[in-house]
Amino acid sequence: MKILFIGDVIGEPGRRCLASWLPRIKQEHQPTFILVNAENAAGGFGLTPEIAQELFKLGADVLTSGNHIWDKKQIYGFLDKEARLLRPANYPDAVPGKGWGVFEVTAGGPKLGVINLEGRVYMHTLRDPFTLARELIQTIKVQTPLILVDFHAEVTSEKRALGWYLDGLATAVIGTHTHVQTADEEILPQGTAYLTDAGMTGGRNSVIGIEKEEALHRFLTQMPTRFTPAPDRPWLNGVIIEADPATGRATGIQRLQCS
C-alpha cells in the first residue's frame, strides 16, 4: 500500500506542474492514496472551491492545508461542506472545517486516517499539536491503523519532536510549510515514516515559490510587497510512503523531486 504526498502547490504554475507530473507518477508508483497540500494553490495564497475541485479532478483524494487556508474567504463555507479538504486540527472548534478524517478511496480497500496540524513556534498560538495528535490517533485507530500526519510548521525541531512523539502511533509524519524539501527521510524505530519537509510544487526560480524580485524587494526595503507565484523551472516535490495496511507500520519512504 502506497501513499503519495505532494508538497505545497503554489498558484497556477504549481497546478500546471502537478497536472503534468501526476499521471506519470501514478503510472510508475500506483499509489493507493494521493494527498496534496493545497493551502497556496490559489494565486500563491489560500484556496478557492473551484481550485480545490480542480485538484480533486487531477487525482487528489485528500487536500491538506495550513495557516494560509484562511486567506480566501470563499473557502470557508466549502470547508464545512467538503470532508476531503482539511484545515489544521488545532484551531478552535468555532472555525470552519475539520482537521482530520478517515478516507476510503476504493470500496472495501484500506482506509487512511489523515490528521492536519499546525506548529506553534513562530506561528499562531494554537492548541498543543502534540497532545491533540495522540488524542486523534486514539480516535482514528478504532477505524484504521493507517494514519498520516501533515505537520504544517516553521521550525525543524518542532517537526522532528512530533515525529518522535508519534513514532509507532502514526504511519507517517510529514512536514510542510517551509517549501524546501529536507533530505532526512527515514523510518523511525517503531515504524513511523518521517520527513521534516516535503518541499513545494511550483517555480524553482523563486523564493519558496514566489517571484524572487518581489521577495528581495520585501527584504531590501521592509515595505509591503505584492507576491506572485513564480513560473520558471517548475518542479514537483513530494514523498511516497509504503505501509503495511494490517499493522499501519511504514515499510518504505522515498522522496520525489520531478522536474
Least distance to Fe ion, CB of residue 125, Å: 16
SS (H, E, C) 34-66: EEEECCCCCCCCCCCHHHHHHHHHHCCCEEECC
The CA distances from residue 91 to 12, 76, 95, 119, 232, in Å, are: 28, 14, 7, 11, 35
Nearer Cβ to Fe ion (79/169): 79
Nearer Cβ to Fe ion (76/251): 76
Nearer Cβ to Fe ion (86/169): 86
Q: Which of 68, 152, 177, 179 is catalytic?
A: 68
68 catalytically annotated:
yes
Q: Which residues pair with 253 in a beta bridge?
A: 241
- What letters, b where the CB count within 10 A reaches 16 and e where it falls short, cover 53-87? ebbbeebbbbbbbbbbbbbbeebeebbeebeebbb
Least distance to Fe ion, CB of residue 106, Å: 31
- Report which DSSP code applies to 206: E
Is-contact 5 112, C-beta < 8 A? no
Least distance to Fe ion, CB of residue 178, Å: 8
Nearer Cβ to Fe ion (67/181): 67
Query: Does an H or E element contain 152, and which?
Result: strand 147-152
Is-contact 66 48, C-beta < 8 A? no
Which residues of the chain form contacts with Fe ion (CB under 5 A)?
A: 66-67, 177
Nearer Cβ to Fe ion (41/250): 41
- The region that residue 168 occupies, defined by phi over 0 for left and psi between -120 and 50 for alpha, beta otherwise, is left
Least distance to Fe ion, CB of residue 142, Å: 31
Least distance to Fe ion, CB of residue 194, Å: 19
- Report which DSSP code applies to 95: S
Residues tagged active-site:
68
